[in-house]
Amino acid sequence: MSDCIFCKIVDGEIPSEKVYEDDKVVAFNDVNPQSPVHILVIPKRHISSVKEIDDDNSHLVSHIHLVINKIAKDKGLYEKGFRIVNNCGEDGGQTVNHLHYHLLGGRQLKWPPG
């Protein structure tokens, strides 16, 4: 989508610190990190939110999980653990309407969220 900042990151129109890329997904450092490691993993294809996951695109979600495990190992999070977050819609706190999973780690994270 032309006005989507994450589509622009996929296209390279907006710079980002990429940590992983393949034909289906891109992962890059969050510009406003909430933990020592805070990476966003997104499909290259524009999907607005988890509400749009269906039979045609759900393979991307399983692929994202494989990529998250790889990045967690690469970033040294695997032994101590990490958190995967998806915010959906207004009450969920979603601010960018392109599907993304937050990978957070590198410190003890609190629960429950605010």
Residues contributing to the site for ligand 5GP (CB under 6 A): 5, 14, 16, 28-32, 40, 87, 93-96
Beta carbon nearer to ligand 5GP, 41 or 72 = 41
Contact between 28 and Zn ion (CB under 5 A)?
Answer: no
Instruction: Supply the minimum distance, in Å, between the C-beta of residue 80 and ligand 5GP.
Output: 22
The pairing of strands 18-21 and 83-85 is unpaired
- Name the one residue in this structure whose structure tokens are 């991307």: 60
Beta carbon nearer to ligand 5GP, 5 or 69 = 5
Q: Within 10 Å of residue 85's Cβ, how many Cβ atoms?
A: 16
CA distances from 44 to 37, 57, 67 (A): 21, 12, 13
Q: Which residues are catalytic?
A: 100
